[in-house]
């Protein structure tokens, strides 16, 4: 059974998950914004999405570009969770997963690390 959570409360959970990122890693996040949206693009079944150029692919010509974006999707996350504790855990996993993409870590490696 899906849980209900306001946009504001969900954003607080995303913020709390970001606060758990070690400061030495958080300091390396560059030109990236994190956004909460209700739903992914039509036809997509996602909890989160990284849209940008990973740090590992940025070269000397990387300049003057719009920020990378990490989307965390509220409604699909709530749909798979039964408790607030489940939401907290899933938001944490999703935030870490998408930040890892910013650092150039692919899905296979994230799966190995338990963040798939």
CA 39 to mean position of chain CA atoms = 13
Strands across the sheet containing 68-73:
32-37, 68-73, 48-51
- Write out pLDDT tens, residues 3-49: 899 999 999 999 999 999 999 989 999 999 999 999 999 999 999 99
Phi, psi of 79, rounded to the nearest 5 degrees: -65, -25
- Write out pLDDT tens, residues 64-107: 999 999 999 999 999 999 999 999 999 999 999 999 999 999 98
**pLDDT score recorded for residue 76:** 97
What percent of the residues of the chain are helix, what percent strand, and what percent coil, each to the nearest 5?
45, 15, 40
* 111 pLDDT above the threshold of 90: no
* 1 pLDDT above the threshold of 70: no
**pLDDT score recorded for residue 47:** 97
Count CB-CB contacts under 10 A for residue 64: 5
Q: Helix, strand or coil for residue 70?
A: strand
Give the model's confidence band at 113: pLDDT under 50 very low, under 70 low, under 90 confident, else very high. Answer: confident
Mean pLDDT of 40-60: 95
């Amino acid at each position: 059974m899906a849980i209900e959570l306001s946009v504001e409360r969900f954003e607080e959970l995303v913020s709390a998950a970001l606060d758990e990122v070690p400061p030495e890693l958080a300091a390396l996040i560059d030109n990236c914004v994190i956004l909460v949206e209700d739903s992914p693009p039509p036809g997509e079944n996602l909890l989160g999405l990284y849209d940008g150029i990973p740090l590992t692919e940025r070269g000397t010509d990387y300049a003057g570009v719009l920020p990378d974006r990490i989307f965390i999707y509220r409604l699909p996350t709530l749909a798979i969770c039964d408790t607030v504790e489940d939401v907290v855990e899933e938001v944490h996993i999703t935030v870490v997963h998408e930040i890892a993409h910013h650092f150039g870590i692919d899905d296979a490696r994230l799966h190995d690390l338990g963040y798939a």
